[in-house]
Amino acid sequence: MIKKLLILAGALLLIGVIPTQAQKKKEVANDMNTPLHLLQPDYKVPYGMLSVKEVKADMDRVLHYLDQATPARVIDKNTGKQITDYKQMNAHSVLDKGLFRLASYEWGVTYAAMLAVGQSTGDKTYTDYTMDRFRFLAEVAPDFKRLMNDYGVIDPQMKQLLTPHALDDAGAMCAAMIKAQLADKQIDLRPMIDNYMNYIMYKEYRLSDGTFARNRPQQNTVWLDDMFMAVPAIAQMGKLTGEMKYYNEAVKQILQFSKRMFVPEKGLYRHGWVEGMTDHPAFHWGRANGWAILTMTEVLDVLPENHPGYEEVLKQFRAHIRGLAACQSGEGFWHQLLDRNDSYLETSATAIYVYCFAHAINKGWIDPVAYGPVAQLGWHAVSTKINAKGEVEGTCVGTGMAFDPAYYYYRPVNVYAAHGYGPVIWAGAEMINLLKQQHPKMNDSAVQYYSTEQATSEPIFSVSENRWNQVVSGSSRKAENAPVVFLIGDSTVKNGKGEGDGDMWGWGDFFDSFFDRSRISVENHALGGRSSRTFFTEGLWDKVLPGIKKGDYLFIQFGHNDGGPLNTGRARASLKGIGEESETVIMERTGGPEEVFTFGHYLRMYVRQAKAHGAKVILLSPTPGNRWTEGRMNRFTDTYAAWAAEVAHKEGVYFIDLNDLSATKFEAMGADKTNGYYKDGVHTTYDGAILNCKSVIEGLMKLTDCDLNQYVDKAAIGKEYRINNKERKNTP
How far is the C-alpha of 2 from the C-alpha of 8, rounded, in Å? 10
- Angle, helices 686-701/658-669, rounded to nearest 10 degrees: 130
> What one-character DSSP code corresponds to residue 554?
E
Q: Is position 464 annotated as part of the catalytic site?
A: no
How far is the C-alpha of 176 from the C-alpha of 232, rounded, in Å? 9
How far is the C-alpha of 350 from the C-alpha of 354, rounded, in Å? 6
How far is the C-alpha of 419 from the C-alpha of 222, rounded, in Å? 21
**10: burial class by Cβ within 10 Å (0-12, 13-18, 19+)?**
exposed
> What one-character DSSP code corresponds to residue 40?
P
Q: Is position 37 annotated as part of the catalytic site?
A: no
396 near 320, Cβ under 8 Å? Answer: no
Q: Which residues contact 598 (CB under 8 A, 6 or more apart)?
A: 574, 575, 576, 577, 578, 579, 580, 581, 582
Q: Which of 491, 574, 621, 662 is catalytic?
A: 491
Q: Which of 380, 476, 683, 695 is catalytic?
A: 683
HSE of 472, CA atoms in CB hemisphere, 13 A:
20
> What one-character DSSP code corresponds to residue 20?
P
540 near 471, Cβ under 8 Å? Answer: yes
How far is the C-alpha of 568 from the C-alpha of 585, rounded, in Å? 10
411 near 399, Cβ under 8 Å? Answer: yes
DSSP string across 111-151: HHHHHHHHHHH--HHHHHHHHHHHHHHHHHHHHHHHHHHHH
How far is the C-alpha of 414 from the C-alpha of 690, rounded, in Å? 61
Residue 241 backbone phi and psi in degrees, to 5: -100, -20
The CA-based diameter of the chain, rounded to the nearest angstrom, is 110
Q: Which of 31, 85, 680, 705 is catalytic?
A: 680
> What one-character DSSP code corresponds to residue 503?
G
266 near 339, Cβ under 8 Å? Answer: yes
DSSP string across 613-677: TT-EEEEEPPPPPS-EETTEE---TTTHHHHHHHHHHHHT-EEE-HHHHHHHHHHHH-HHHHGGG
- In order of 509, 510, 517, 725, the CA distances from 499 in angstroms are 8, 11, 20, 12
Helix (H, G, I), strand (E, B) or coil at 285: strand
Q: Which residues contact 679 (CB under 8 A, 6 or more apart)?
A: 502, 503, 504, 685
685 near 678, Cβ under 8 Å? Answer: yes
379 near 431, Cβ under 8 Å? Answer: yes
Q: Is position 512 annotated as part of the catalytic site?
A: no
> What one-character DSSP code corresponds to residue 327?
T
Torsion of CA 483, 486, 492, 497, to 10 degrees: 100
Residue numbers annotated as active site: 491, 680, 683
